[in-house]
A and B are shown apart, each in its own frame.
Chain A
């Protein structure tokens, strides 16, 4: 047998060679090919042993939160559940978010210069925690829209056609009202990082919510470049992470004080 070529030797080393017996026989007689196979095995072993960092303990919770933020209710069966269509529930959720945001913004977030809020039964710590959870969830949702837009691309072979961003458009519309209220509240309370990132998000949400559901690939690309150039995704992620950290601290403080 002639010397097997490099590809056949590599396939043999991986157990993928069709003529394994013939190659094995050749290796018994050819030191050079034997060394070549050994070399491939050493290289593959070294490359396969690449260390992978272990995600922290809250990794799964983070993943779930991200997925949950993207979920729309599934319709299990027809009948009365039909009334709760995805569209209606989404609208109701958006409305509830706005109402909650307005309520929290107006009543909950502590305002040093004003008289105490008239909600006597809820402590300031609890109020702060509720607000942090709401802002954290809001930022998670915004982050997932940015991710979707950043990763969107025309279908293969359809580079000249429009891209459907109706899903992102709808969700941007749902977030817009709450975004304004959270931004105003953060401004009032001197929370500059949150106010700044919400301020940067707002024009994008407005543009998405009021723009066309189908955009040309070139327009999508321009939008993606703007998001990337401003580092918006990273900013939202950093602020979201800080808010979540504050949320955890607030929970621990709540536990310690109770």
Chain B
């Protein structure tokens, strides 16, 4: 176990012993990393901040379920990923209700996806040379699960097994989510990255 993990475990023990303020150290130590995960999953600063808040509260309430042998940072990361997924799915449901639209075929169509469908197509984006906007649009075309799996695999470098455990999926479904994510991103971004070369 690393020094940081040891230190986290000591703080957790303090909180469980009744020292609530000891949780502050954990909040200060991990919040920014959680924010980066939540932002990459939602693409929205305000949503990301609320997700981090939600994840920290959830972690505090479940602290007695945390196993001291585990890594607190990893445990918190998983909680945050699931909070972000919950939020994205909920937004999708609300959006569907609001629009009175028929239910999508699978979980691939959310509010972010709706925005993506209204956004300029890859050709226009390639012509405008706006790679950053293209990346946002491409990320928005992913379902909540695909986006989570992609971020966890390709940005944060987690293994398929770790992602499967964090998201409560089996290995096959996790591989498929990452595959579908890359496939969709490729469809959107290939013209842009080819132009940018």
Contacts and interface: CB of A to CB of B under 8 A. Distances in A.
Interface of A: 6-7, 10-11, 14, 16, 39-40, 42-44, 46-55, 59-60, 62-64, 66-68, 70-71, 73-77, 81, 144, 147, 150-151, 153, 225, 228
A71 B15 CA distance: 11
Contacts of A151: 54, 86-87, 90
B126 interface: no
Given A47-B150, A70-B57, A147-B54, A52 B27 contact: no
A37 B189 CA distance: 14
A16 B53 CA distance: 33
A114 to B, nearest CB: 39
Contacts of A75: 18
Interface of B: 15-18, 20, 23-24, 27-28, 31-32, 35-36, 39-40, 43, 45, 49-50, 52-54, 56-57, 60-61, 86-87, 90, 94, 97, 131-132, 135-136, 138-139, 150, 153-155, 160, 175, 178-179, 182-183, 185-186, 189-190, 192-194, 196-197
Nearest to A41: B193
B135 A50 contact: yes
8 contacts: A6-B183, A47-B138, A48-B154, A50-B43, A55-B49, A60-B32, A67-B56, A153-B90
Contacts of B43: 50
A16 B160 contact: yes
Given A55-B35, A151-B87, A228 B52 contact: no
Given A39-B190, A55-B35, 4 more contacts: A46-B131, A63-B27, A74-B18, A147-B50
